[in-house]
Structures are given as structure tokens and as C-alpha cells.
A and B are shown apart, each in its own frame.
Chain A
Amino acid sequence: MSALREEFSKWMSDNLCGDYECLRGRATPGDEDAFPGMRLKWEREMGEAGWIGVSWPKEYGGRGASLDDIVGFNEEYAAHGGPGRAGHIGETLLAPTIIAFGTEEQKAKYLPGIKAGTEFWCQGYSEPNAGSDLSNIKTKAQLKNDQWIIEGQKIWTSLAMDSDYIFVIARAEEGSVGRHGLVFLLVKLDQPGIEIRPIKQMSGTAEFNEVFFGGAVCGEKDIIGGVGEGWKIAMALLGFERGASTLGQQMTFADEFRQIVELAKKNGASRDPLIRQRIAKAYAGLKIMRFTALRTLEAAETGELTKEGYISKIYWASWHRDLGELAMDVMGVSAEILEEGEYNKLQKLFLFSRSDTIYGGTNQIQRNIIAERALGMPKEPRGGGTVIKG
């Protein structure tokens, strides 16, 4: 175990206890509304101890952690039952984007709050008519008197309710289409021009929100990159998720899997040969997921872009959805019964995992991406009226 990993493991043991005990294993997808106040307090606790931004370069207050350390950090967090992170969008997506493309002023203004665990960010990408076809952005940003004035709507915004800021891609050039003419804005949420409405999901909870912009404002300098570079910045931001956190996610999956195995032992489903086959396949899938992530990460360490990384999203999403179905089949008819009027953990898993194959690029879009980028097959028509010929 590396020194950083060991240090973090000890810190988790010493700190995820007492008042925070209730957070253990909570706030996972489908359980996002668990203890909101305590979770924000927990983020501050992590920030104070220096555990936010360990992968950032040292000059920005990070520890410049190596890949092994980042993997170890994520695995320890999951192994100790660390709750779903409220600050991961700021820490792992926006901060690296600011470090790479932002001005010195922006670095000084935004990084400290993220690092301290006191300022939270959400992501304003999707719109009602810009889902899989993300470049079909209609939200407008107009520069007037040193301010950007924003009109439009974002949707499927995770954790907007708990956030302080939103980064938004909007159309800055009148008449532009597709990936052209966009701008990447940094916007404070607490202002009169913004309204947030939670979306109640089939899991009964509300991780996602609608965010309405009616004359919302941000300063002229609160943009990353130039006008017309919004798409480039938006895509670069997604590229910073290198997959190290998926190893932590997989430990959460492993916990869910173990719970299903225990239940099957207890209720006798483990004697059903068909259930046994499915349990074994789920186990194999989890091991395969882990080694695929290691292949991608190890290659990235040596600066190589390998192709198997393209299967990551569709593989884990489909695996997790199947696990939810397996969980219900192991429960049998008791899957239909609510204990104490609430969904239990496996029922939440079953219901929430239906979104796994939709958000972050549907399975269908993932197949397009694999066919085009990994296999070099002809491209689908793109937004902005350009049809790319096969």
C-alpha cells in the first residue's frame, strides 16, 4: 500500500464515525436525498484535511498524486463506505479544466472553494432538445454592458439543489448552429434569473433537476476559452474523467453484489441452478470490468490512447442494470413488498439502474461512438446541417 493510500485509509477510519456514521454507504445513486446537510459538512471535513484535489498539481494546492495513488484513494474511499460525493463535479471535472484553460484570476477565484469543500458545482450541458444530440444547444448568452445575459433551459442537472455554481454551454453567436458559436460560462446559481426545479425520478428520489435561465447573469470574464470555443472546452472537460474513479465505483458494485449473494444464501435462491449461472456471470463481469479499467489506465500512464476504454461506459451500465434485475429475481416475490413503506437498497438499485444506460451517453450513442472511433466506421450525420458522408 502506498504512503498516500495508507494515510487516507487511516484518516477515513478515524473520521467516518461519530456524527458521520449515518453516512456510511449512503447517498449512492438512487439514495441521493440521504442526509443532505451532513453530506455537505462531510465535504468540508475532507477539504480541511486536504483530501480534495489530491490529483491536482502541487502549485494549486493538490498533491500531484500518481495514478496508483488516485486509484488507491478511490478504492479506500469506497472500501470505508464513504458516502456519494457531493463535490466530485467541481473537483474532478471543472477544476482540471480551469487549471488547463482558465485564467490566473479564475484559478484564484474558484479553486480554493472547491478545494475547501465549501463550494459546489453542477454541469449545465443537456437541454430538452439537446440530449444525445448535445450540440443542438438553444440556451443563449448575450454580452451586454460587461455582463453575459443568459436565457434558456438546462435539464438532467445532477445535484443542482446542493450546488453554488453551474457551468453552462450556451450559444453566443446569433445564427450559429451545432458546435460553432458556443461559449462556456461560469454562473452563480443563487440569483433572481435562475430557477431550479427537481425532477422526481422513477426511483422516487430527485438527483436530477431542471434549471431555468431567465435573464441570469455572469461577468464578461466568467468564461473559459473564447467565444466560439465552448464546444472544445466542454469536450475537454469530459476528457478529464480518466476513469480512476470507476475503480471506486466498482467497489460499490462489489458491495451490492455481495449483498445479493448473502440474500441468495439466506432465502435459498442459491440452490436454483439458473440463479447460480447468473450470479457467476455477474461476478465474472465485475472482474472483467476491473481489468479493463486497469488496461486503460496503465496505457494512459505511458501516454498511449488505447481503444478498449470505449467499452467502459456501456459495459458497466449494462452490467449494473442486469445486476438490478438479478437482485429482484433473487428476492423473488418479496421484491414487490415495501419494508416500512420504503424501497430497500436492492429495490433502489433496480429502479435507479434503469438510468445508467441513459445518462452520460445512452447505450445507443455509446455504440455509435465505438463504431466510429474504435472501429473507424462511417460517421452519423452531425448537428449543424453537416452530413458527413460514408
Chain B
Amino acid sequence: MTYPFTDDHDMIRDAARGFLQAWYDGGKGPERVYQSGTAFDGAAWQSFAKELGMAGIAISEEHEGAGLGDLGRVVVMEELGASLCAIPFLTTCGIVTDIIQTAGEATAKNRYLKKIAAGELSAAYCDGHDAAAKVVSHVVHAAEADLIVLSGRGEGGIDYFAIPKGTAGLKITPEKTMDPTRSFAAVDWNDVAKGNLIPIGYGSEDQHEKLITQSFTALAAECVGGAQKCLDMTLEYAGQRVQFGRPIASFQAIKHRCADMFILIEAARSAVYAAAMAAPEDNTEAALIAKAYATDAFFKVAGDAIQMHGGIGFTWDYPLHFFFKRARANRSMFGSSERDYDRLAGHIFGDAA
């Protein structure tokens, strides 16, 4: 048990790591998902969410979750990042859980949270309130989600609606992605009757932005887990690979670059833990920093890992490319790090647009 974690977190981490590394299986897990062409492993989701009970990690005990909050979610996301397991945890247990817990009405909470916590419901969030055409592409995990949570513009704020899979008129078109372990789809609700959009909650624009930003922390934690895995693989490889009669790990050109990877990862970890520790009503800035820093760090570390593996790192058979592609994908999820830093600059100068 190491600060800021407790014994509960350690137990969760051990269980998640055991399952997810067995799934990862030296890279065979991501390759299997790639071969399947769906960017989703339903059996893994079933086991992870339902049997291991991971889906309720951040859901309050009142709704039969584990009540471990952002910090608990960080633990799970780090392990997911280290395995690239293709399951809709980030959206179901991150953003949608946050929307329902924070902005949801009592009926919605009762209807959905218990089911999510039990691993019986997966969900994706569709950012729909600026989509006049009622079509949004690149919606993460929408392809496999049991429930789409849609934001719409209401009077002076944001309304949230639930659209269960199979609702008449709901069109979900999976998209082919460069990162084969994370699914994206286009969501089209033009033909969904208004009465079939189930209202579940409401929030002001500001509250909405805070809510969305809160889930940045989970994404950032995934980056830390992925980057750590890249460094671990690099250290192992550099210790075995012999050139000029010595393991390449003994050369400073390699050592110093690994040291730089470690610095980036530990700094990102600090940013993520600080964001997860911050009070929910006051964590926007910390979450922005965590996401901006960790997404950049993961991308840099994954690229460096390929470089230090030499030719083998460039092959499809060696699993590093999956991490590199995930790192790339995470740089554009919820917008770029440049945009995060720009928002931060607005806070610092007090001149936010």
C-alpha cells in the first residue's frame, strides 16, 4: 500500500492486473481483437465487469458499487492501459457513470447505476448538443454499448437522454480505426422518435464541462499504464539484446533515454494521482493537467520504445505498435493537449474566452 492508495485499491489492482495480463498474453490479446475486426471483446467485458465486479468501482455504495471514486478508477485504468483490453470501461464506468451520478435524476440513478455496477449494462456517451444534423461520428465504444447517453441543448443548459440499443430508428455504424483495440462508431438518431429519447438528467453548461473534464483523469491514467508497459518492455529487451559484446542496456545512449521515459511516466503519474485526489467540485484544473501531460508522455514513450527496440519494434508481430496506436488515439480523444493547455492558460491569465 503506497500513498495515495489503500489496501482496497491494492486488492483491486492485483485482481485487475491478474485478469488483464492473462488476457494480454504477450500481445496475443490485442492481436486476437484485431483479427476479429470488431475492436471489442464481449467475453472479456463479461468477465471483467460482471464476474470480477470491476464496473462498479466508482459507483457509490448506495447504488451497489464499490464507492472507490476517481482513485479506484485510476487503478483500473492503469491496468487497462497496460493490456489494451478492448472493453468499454472508460465510457461505461467513467463518463456515463459520472453523468448519471452527478446530473441524473433519482429514477435514472436507480434504473441504471445498479445495472452498471453489476456489469449488466455497458454504455457510451454521444456528445450531441452541438450536432444539428443529429449525427455524430467517432463515438467511442458506441458500437458495442447497450446504452447510448446523448447530450442535447435544453433551456439554458444541457439535457441528457438515454437511448437503449435496438431503439427503433437508432443507427450505429462502426468505423475502421488505426488503433484496432478501441472501437469508434457513428451515431445517427434522426429517425428516433422524440418519445423514445428517455430524459435522464440535466445540468448547466458549466456543470457539463466540469463533468466531461472529470473523465479526463481516467483517460490520463490509461496513458500512464500504457507508457509503463512500453518502458517495461524496453528495459527487458535492452537487457537481453547484445551488440558490441554488451547488452545495449549498458550504453548511456539507451540508459539516458530510458531515464527520460521514467521521468515522463512518474511526472504523469503524479499529475494523474493529484487529479484523482482533488475534490470533485474542484478538480477541473488538475484533470486538464493530467490529461495534457499524460497523453503527450504516453505518445513520446511509445515512440521511444519502438526506437530502442530497433527493427523488431517496427514489426507487426511485436506488440509495441498497438501501444503506439493507442497513444496516438488518446491524443485526440476529448481534444488535443494543446487545447487543454490553452484552457489552462485562460485560467492562469483570467481571460478565458
Contact = CB atoms under 8 A, between A and B. Distances in A.
User: Do these two chains interact?
Assistant: yes
Interface centre among A261, A283, A371 (most CB of B within 10 A): A371
Contacts of A299: 2-3
Contacts of A390: 246-247, 249-250
A265 B239 CA distance: 50
Contact of A375 (B252, B258, B348, B351): B258
A298 B277 CA distance: 14
A284 B266 contact: no
A314 B263 contact: yes
Contacts of B338: 277
Interface residues of A, number: 45
A287 B289 CA distance: 9
Interface in A284-336: 284-285, 287-288, 290-292, 294-295, 298-299, 302, 304, 306-308, 310-311, 314-315
Interface stretch (B57-65, B141-149, B159-167, B339-347): B339-347
Interface stretch (A131-139, A159-167, A200-208, A362-370): A362-370
Contact of A371 (B259, B341, B342, B345): B259
B292 interface: yes
A261 B247 contact: no
Contacts of B4: 295, 298
A118 interface: no
Contacts of B269: 308
B48 interface: no
Contact of B252 (A280, A294, A304, A368): A368
Contact of B267 (A273, A292, A366): A292
Contacts of A264: 349
Contact of A292 (B255, B270, B351): B270
A281 interface: yes
B247 A378 contact: yes
B209 to A, nearest CB: 17
A279 interface: yes
A382 B260 CA distance: 22
A273 to B, nearest CB: 7
Contact of A315 (B239, B256, B263, B292): B263
Given A277-B341, A298-B3, A304-B2, A367 B271 contact: no
Nearest to A296: B3
A294 B269 CA distance: 12
Contacts of A238: none
A279 B267 contact: no
B289 A284 contact: yes
A378 B258 contact: no
Given A273-B342, A277-B342, A284 B349 contact: no
A38 interface: no
A276 interface: yes
A310 B265 CA distance: 12
Contacts of A283: 289, 344, 348
B250 A378 contact: yes
B345 A276 contact: yes
A295 B270 contact: yes
B259 A367 contact: yes
Given A374-B262, A375-B262, A276 B342 contact: yes
A377 B258 contact: yes
B116 to A, nearest CB: 30
Contact of B266 (A261, A265, A276, A307): A307
B238 interface: yes
B345 A280 contact: yes
B169 to A, nearest CB: 43
B216 interface: no
A291 B341 contact: no
Nearest to B261: A375
Interface of B: 2-4, 235, 238-239, 246-247, 249-250, 252, 254-256, 258-260, 262-263, 266-267, 269-271, 273-274, 286, 289, 292-293, 338, 341-342, 344-345, 348-349, 351
Give 4 closest A-B pairs by Cβ, nearest first: A390-B250, A371-B255, A298-B3, A280-B341
17 contacts: A261-B348, A261-B349, A276-B341, A280-B342, A284-B292, A302-B3, A308-B266, A367-B256, A368-B255, A371-B255, A371-B258, A374-B259, A374-B262, A375-B258, A377-B255, A378-B246, A380-B252
Interface of A: 261, 264-265, 270, 273, 276-277, 279-281, 283-285, 287-288, 290-292, 294-295, 298-299, 302, 304, 306-308, 310-311, 314-315, 364, 366-368, 370-372, 374-378, 380, 390
